[in-house]
A and B are shown apart, each in its own frame.
Chain A
Amino acid sequence: MPTVGVKRDLLFKALGRTYTDEEFDELCFEFGLELDEITSEKEIISREQGDSKASGASDIILYKIDVPANRYDLLCLEGLVRGLQVFKNKLEAPRYRRVSPVNGEPQKLIITKETAAVRPFAVAAVLRNITFTQERYDSFIELQEKLHQNICRKRSLVAIGTHDLDTISGPFTYTAKAPGDICFRPLNQTKEYTATQLMSLYKTDSHLRHYLHIIEDKPVYPVIYDSNGIVLSMPPIINGDHSKITLKTKNVFIECTATDVTKAKIVLDMMVTMFSEYCSQPFTVEEAEVVYPDGKTCVYPELAYRTERLSSEFINCKVGINESTEKIAQLLTRMCLRSRATGVGDEIEVEIPPTRSDVIHACDIMEDAAVAYGFNNITRTTPRTYTVAHQFPLNKLTELLRQDLAAAGFTEALNFALCSQEDIADKLGKKISETKAAHISNPKTAEFQVARTTLLPGLLKTIAANRKMPLPLKLFEISDVVLQDETKDVGARNSRRFCAVYYNKSPGFEVIHGLLDRTMQLLDVKSARGEGYHIQAADDPTFFPGRCAEIFVQGKSVGRLGVLHPDVINRFELTMPCSALEMDVEPFLGHTAEALLTHDVPMQEVIAHRFPTQIESSQALASRPTSTKTVFGDMSTPAGLKALNGFLADKSYMEGFAATQADVAVFDAIPSAPSPTFCHLLRWYKHIQSFQRERAGLPPAKSQFVLQAAAPAAANDASDDDDIDLFGSDDEAESAEAARIKEQRLAEYAAKKSKKPALIAKSSILLDVKPWDDETDMAKLEECVRSVSMDGLLWGQSKLVPVGYGIKKLQIGCVVEDEKVGTDLLEEAITAFEEYVQSVDVAAFNKI
């Protein structure tokens, strides 16, 4: 996150009012920023270089503000103030305009093909009739620096050059030349240098030396000349002194050279949108032409406004709020995203200005809406996601082992996964080439050369650091090592190891051996050759000759134990005998009933995804039928929604027991997510919404619920059952009232009809109701339970079953209609008798 430092008083002056520190902190928070520090130049210098150096420095109060990494429009005072003023509704976001020069001849920057080898892109623009003050000038320089450090990736992607246009004359040429052939007087120098000389001159420059590597090794260096051969700049290192801007500069030529043209355009837009404020025609920018080597001409700055259309429902659903379309448009406008409700449904048209290059997806707009709404105003909800938790079996085993190893008297150590080559090889008497270690290419110190291949060095180093502790030291660690493995996509894998050491005046092999026996006991492995485990003598340079054994489980080697070689002990700066054990844990995982999760991903996709193109998805949005007329009434009216809500009160779907096209059709007829007051409808709506992807594949509808807007008469076809024409009417011009009655009756009819073919599915449920304690009146409890009455619920026999400590539970049976009564509903109703009921469990559930 970049930090922007602004002078407090200048900021307040620009904001048109003063704030206390707390008030401003609050304002920053609301706007999604953070007031990081309140300080002064003097304070900073005195902190970094001591009081003596700070004596002459300014003690003007500075606010250091943390700005989100991609909000380049907030990197200077001008942008911050503009953003905050718009946010506080004190200012309308300005419109940035690109204009042609008065004389009609735009400045030209011609790119030659030589640049392709080093820095192929360039963009340019002119700020005409600008007025600098010292503060504006400082901010102008500061913004360039901030952009260089952030989006420009320390000038490697983009470098900005700003020039006093009146000191140079176009057309300008952007080319690349051999360093020896470039010669000019660089900024703030008194004489001319060749590029080669400059590179060595700046080797010691605390600031510029960081950029030299960008072009250092290139055969040619980029350079920009004016029509008289004057060097404007040698990007990305330094500008020429000739064209430098001063407080008196009136017209500024800005060029950005780049390896990434998208970023160059953003950077140029950012420079000109921020400082065109000080032009005689504020927020206008004079265009410049850039001619590419292939002859193509582009006009910059782009200052492109883009519009996105999205629904307020999208924002409401993603944020978890329920605001009107107009309100959401207002929220977005406050974030400099000028928005309006289009009037088509709940559609909002959002205009993304050139300053908001960070907005690349509707989700960014959603986030801005959430910021403007205020994160603290969003109601916290709990996801209803129902899941059963599983432990990762290897971690589960590790956790169990760790507990028992500590119980066996060993203390757990926790060492780094990275270490030096020496640690895992030389010090253990092994060769690095034999370790299968993964090597790090850019370690800052030897401590990070490799990922460890064994846990032993870490434990020995822990002992060395704790030699003052009373003996014996008994340590263990269960953790991952990393080994090269060609079968893995990354060429390496982790391996879970268990390592233990015993450090005392005598080697204590029997202690470590005893720990192995105990571990095997915990892992349910018997001591036996063949099926169980056994150890047998082995040679290993890490161990004292004749004092090392290999551990075999079911005939496979899983690790080693023994007394460490005195050389190993010495190399780890230890003085006493030490025995150790290290073995793999994974072979003991065994078989688990749970599906094993791995991080290996399938290389072939199993499901053929349909990835809609943008056009398709926008069509999908547009293809929503305009008809809101259904057999329940007009879905754009509360009356219609209410009728449908009533219909859905005891149904999951429009028809039958699965989603069909009937659900899809009615769903599409509803203009936007229904309000929570229609709870049955909303439940159904959300459910049907989740079928969005497979909606096309749903079974066909039996009846038609949606009426064609143009042909209300089609309502007559609403049922296949055509024996009675209930609503036949001679009256061609139906009155509105008659239509209403007709729709209502139709709805009632459809509702009645939909019930007709349904087989009533029933279930027999046996419930266990547990009382609070042994003093609970069980008769009263049963009375309470039986008092629960619902449509489709029939109580059956009951009995009291002792559960222990004199407590009895009530076991009561009932028969329910599946459509009407769910077990959760029952449980909820029964547990409502809080004084009596502790819990309700379903003991048995049988479909009848």
Chain B
Amino acid sequence: MADTGVVEALLRRVEKVDDGVDSLEVATSLELDHQVIVGAVKSLQAVGDVISAELRSSKHWELTDEGREIAEHGSHEARVFGSIPVEGLPQSELMKLSFGKIGFSKAMSNKWIRLDKAHEGGPRIFRTVESIEDQVREKLLLLQKGNASQLEEKEKNELKKRKLLSEVTVKTYWIMKGNSFSTTVTKQETELTAEMITNGSWKEKKFKPYNFEAMGVAPDCGHLHPLMKVRTQFRQIFLEMGFTEMPTNNFIESSFWNFDSLFQPQQHPARDQHDTFFLSDPALAHDFPQDYLERVKKVHSEGGFGSQGYKYDWKIEEAKKNILRTHTTAVSARMLYKLAQQKFTPVKYFSIDRVFRNETLDATHLAEFHQIEGVVADYGLTLGDLMGVLHQFFTKLGLKKWVEVGNSGIFRPEMLLPMGLPEDVSVIAWGLSLERPTMIKYGINNIRELVGHKVNLQMVYDKCGWTDFTFRM
């Protein structure tokens, strides 16, 4: 903010005239540097419509420093002339003077002086005329007085060539009263301060408007991982629907719970070395509920519970093999088995956790991913119920084409009855991966950008849109 005194002085000037004043004139009359007035104008403009200032530019001639020196003391040649006495002056003496060198050659060409090289005692300079007329000085004095128009362009350009004169463009303001003109202008504040609040001065202050086009300063905050945020969203949906979370914190599982209990035959391709991670240490599981294990063995090898079975030689050795679980359904099986060991009450279970596949890796497949699973066990559930509950689930997600993203079904009696669940209890279940919908939501094509250490942290910082969880499929 310009000095308040200057601003007020300027406003008083403007007040007196109706058709406005020139900023340069004001500066001259106030004996201030023009830039000070320009500053005052600018700060007044920022306040609002106090004044209206029109930018004007004009050109004028101004003496250079050298030019001003000449105007004061005379041109170099005149001073050379003036410093030579009648008896002459040794050239060496003249050259010692500040203007000697330049003035000598010009005086010579004006034929005001002559040089006697053969003079005894070294070359000596003598006047050749009695008196001279210092036209340069006179012209400069004219210009200094502001009478530039009395000189011809040619003359001015010659002076300019001699660097005695320069042409200056001056930008001035033509200042007139604005719509809300007033001679007193309160200073604009940039920010509200504690002091203003304490002493109440904010009431009188005017504040500089903000530039709302600019970006704000990014907050210094941490970020949750996008995949984990979507996990939170899915958890929320399940909880809203009354599903209880299963304890899935057991990555290592026996083949028994991962496959056999689900009535998956021991020759099933999913149990192949190419698809499943087996463990070398701890290689085998022990401690199975013996009665249940016998029933599982029977339903696989002989059938029963209304089933023909697979009729093959079921081997406990195969069931004992420890693996990294290939689905969270292994935990569902444990939960359902436990449920069967008490008086049956209907349950709704869910889990979202890691599963592992020893598969070929590509842009959308990793060796581990998160599986979302929902399970409902109750008397008399139907396929219609399965479709209904899926519809509700995916509606809550805002997902229309849900059939494409996951699997669903009713657990087989060969799985449920050996556990000891009542015969008329049905269990419906569905599962999908967490990564796929997350990649769709955030528009990520390579899963490695999302999961694992190669994650792009900038993506973690930026991918945080939360407003609604609608997929575009």
Footprint of B on A, CB under 8 Å? 153, 157, 260, 262-263, 306, 317-321, 360-363, 370, 375, 378-392, 394-395, 399, 402-403, 405-418, 438-444, 447-448, 451, 458-459, 461-462, 464-466, 469, 473-474, 476, 480, 482, 484, 488-494, 496, 596-599, 601-607, 609, 611, 613-614, 617, 686, 689-690, 692-693
Which of B243, B304, B311, B420 touches A605 (beta carbons < 8 Å)? B420
A residues in contact with B312, CB < 8 Å = 260, 262-263
* B109 close to A (CB within 8 Å): no
- CB pair A394 B247 closer than 8 Å: yes
B residues in contact with A444, CB < 8 Å = 358
A573 to chain B, nearest CB (A): 11
- CB pair A689 B334 closer than 8 Å: no
- CB pair B225 A387 closer than 8 Å: no
B315 to chain A, nearest CB (A): 12
B residues in contact with A392, CB < 8 Å = 245-249
Residue of B at shortest CB range from A607? B341
A residues in contact with B23, CB < 8 Å = none
Tell whether A442 pairs with B273 under 8 Å between CB atoms, given A383-B381, A392-B245: yes
Residues of B200-244 contacting chain A, CB below 8 A: 220-225, 227-228, 232, 235, 238-239, 241-244
- CB pair B387 A690 closer than 8 Å: no
Which of A386, A389, A613 touches B243 (beta carbons < 8 Å)? A389
A residues in contact with B12, CB < 8 Å = none
How many A-B residue pairs lie within 8 Å, measured between CB atoms?
317
Encode B328-344 as 1/0 by CB contact (under 8 A) with A.
Answer: 00010011011011110
* B277 close to A (CB within 8 Å): yes
A residues in contact with B305, CB < 8 Å = 361, 611
- CB pair B267 A484 closer than 8 Å: no
A residues in contact with B267, CB < 8 Å = 153, 157, 260
Q: Determine the distance from Cα of A693 to Cα of B425 in the docked complex, in whole angstroms.
A: 11
Which of B247, B269, B313, B391 touches A597 (beta carbons < 8 Å)? B247
Q: Determine the distance from Cα of A617 to Cα of B305 in the docked complex, in whole angstroms.
A: 9
A residues in contact with B377, CB < 8 Å = 385
Can you list 19 A-B contacts with CB-CB less than 8 angstroms, sorted by A residue number?
Answer: A319-B383, A382-B389, A384-B378, A387-B346, A389-B244, A394-B247, A399-B235, A411-B225, A412-B222, A413-B453, A438-B279, A476-B222, A480-B249, A597-B246, A599-B250, A599-B334, A601-B334, A689-B424, A692-B424
Tell whether A617 pairs with B306 under 8 Å between CB atoms, given A385-B348, A410-B222, A439-B279: yes
Which of A440, A447, A597 touches B324 (beta carbons < 8 Å)? A440
- CB pair A465 B285 closer than 8 Å: no
* B410 close to A (CB within 8 Å): yes
A residues in contact with B341, CB < 8 Å = 601-602, 605-607
- CB pair B285 A489 closer than 8 Å: yes
Size band of the B side of the interface?
Answer: 35 or more
A residues in contact with B383, CB < 8 Å = 318-320, 370, 375, 378
B residues in contact with A603, CB < 8 Å = 287-290
Residue of A at shortest CB range from B380? A317
A residues in contact with B251, CB < 8 Å = 417, 451, 480, 482, 494
A734 to chain B, nearest CB (A): 40
Residue of A at shortest CB range from B325? A490
Stretch at the interface among B58-66, B75-83, B127-135, B454-462: B454-462
Q: Determine the distance from Cα of A415 to Cα of B322 in the docked complex, in whole angstroms.
A: 23
Encode B79-96 as 1/0 by CB contact (under 8 A) with A.
Answer: 000000000000000000
* B281 close to A (CB within 8 Å): yes
Give me 8 other A-B pairs in contact (C-beta within 8 A), A413-B453, A613-B304 excluded: A320-B384, A389-B244, A394-B247, A440-B278, A440-B279, A448-B358, A491-B282, A492-B322
Which of B287, B308, B331, B376 touches A383 (beta carbons < 8 Å)? B376
- CB pair A465 B380 closer than 8 Å: no
Q: Determine the distance from Cα of A607 to Cα of B246 in the docked complex, in whole angstroms.
A: 22
B residues in contact with A409, CB < 8 Å = 220-222
A residues in contact with B384, CB < 8 Å = 319-321, 378-381
Q: Determine the distance from Cα of A351 to Cα of B322 in the docked complex, in whole angstroms.
A: 41
Tell whether A414 pairs with B244 under 8 Å between CB atoms, given A382-B385, A448-B367: no
With a 10 A CB-CB cut-off, give which of A319, A412, A476 has the most chain B CB atoms.
A412
- CB pair B358 A601 closer than 8 Å: no
B212 to chain A, nearest CB (A): 26
* B286 close to A (CB within 8 Å): yes
Tell whether A490 pairs with B322 under 8 Å between CB atoms, given A411-B461, A473-B457, A692-B424: yes
Encode B244-279 as 1/0 by CB contact (under 8 A) with A.
Answer: 111111111110000000000001010001000111
A residues in contact with B385, CB < 8 Å = 320, 381-383
Tell whether A490 pairs with B252 under 8 Å between CB atoms, given A318-B382, A380-B387, A442-B358: yes
B284 to chain A, nearest CB (A): 8
- CB pair A412 B334 closer than 8 Å: no
- CB pair B453 A462 closer than 8 Å: yes
- CB pair B250 A360 closer than 8 Å: no
- CB pair B453 A493 closer than 8 Å: no
Which of B348, B413, B455 touches A462 (beta carbons < 8 Å)? B455
Q: Determine the distance from Cα of A258 to Cα of B193 in the docked complex, in whole angstroms.
A: 90
B172 to chain A, nearest CB (A): 47
B residues in contact with A319, CB < 8 Å = 382-384
* B177 close to A (CB within 8 Å): no
* B356 close to A (CB within 8 Å): yes
- CB pair B306 A361 closer than 8 Å: yes
A residues in contact with B322, CB < 8 Å = 490-492
* B280 close to A (CB within 8 Å): yes
* B121 close to A (CB within 8 Å): no
B residues in contact with A408, CB < 8 Å = 222
B residues in contact with A480, CB < 8 Å = 249, 251, 354
* B445 close to A (CB within 8 Å): no
Residue of A at shortest CB range from B303? A360
Tell whether A490 pairs with B347 under 8 Å between CB atoms, given A412-B225, A413-B455: no
B352 to chain A, nearest CB (A): 9
Which of A375, A389, A390, A464 touches B387 (beta carbons < 8 Å)? A375
* B295 close to A (CB within 8 Å): yes
A residues in contact with B307, CB < 8 Å = 360-361
Residues of B379-409 contacting chain A, CB below 8 A: 379-385, 387-389, 391-392
B462 to chain A, nearest CB (A): 12
- CB pair A406 B222 closer than 8 Å: yes
Q: Determine the distance from Cα of A623 to Cα of B221 in the docked complex, in whole angstroms.
A: 71
- CB pair B458 A469 closer than 8 Å: yes
Residue of A at shortest CB range from B249? A494
B224 to chain A, nearest CB (A): 5
* B40 close to A (CB within 8 Å): no
- CB pair A383 B453 closer than 8 Å: no
* B469 close to A (CB within 8 Å): no
Residue of B at shortest CB range from A423? B453
B226 to chain A, nearest CB (A): 9
A residues in contact with B31, CB < 8 Å = none
- CB pair B368 A416 closer than 8 Å: yes
- CB pair B253 A601 closer than 8 Å: no
With a 10 A CB-CB cut-off, give which of B248, B286, B288, B457 has the most chain A CB atoms.
B457
Residues of B295-321 contacting chain A, CB below 8 A: 295, 303-313
Q: Determine the distance from Cα of A482 to Cα of B322 in the docked complex, in whole angstroms.
A: 13
Q: Which 7 A-B pairs have the closest CB atoms?
A: A320-B384, A320-B382, A491-B282, A461-B453, A441-B280, A380-B388, A360-B308
- CB pair A602 B303 closer than 8 Å: no
- CB pair B242 A388 closer than 8 Å: yes
B residues in contact with A605, CB < 8 Å = 289, 291-292, 341, 420
Tell whether A439 pairs with B280 under 8 Å between CB atoms, given A361-B414, A416-B451, A417-B354: yes
Q: Determine the distance from Cα of A597 to Cα of B452 in the docked complex, in whole angstroms.
A: 29
- CB pair B222 A494 closer than 8 Å: no
A residues in contact with B238, CB < 8 Å = 389
Residue of B at shortest CB range from A406? B222
Q: Determine the distance from Cα of A604 to Cα of B238 in the docked complex, in whole angstroms.
A: 32
Tell whether A412 pairs with B278 under 8 Å between CB atoms, given A473-B457, A597-B246, A599-B248: no
Which of A388, A405, A461 touches B222 (beta carbons < 8 Å)? A405
Q: Determine the distance from Cα of A394 to Cα of B414 in the docked complex, in whole angstroms.
A: 33
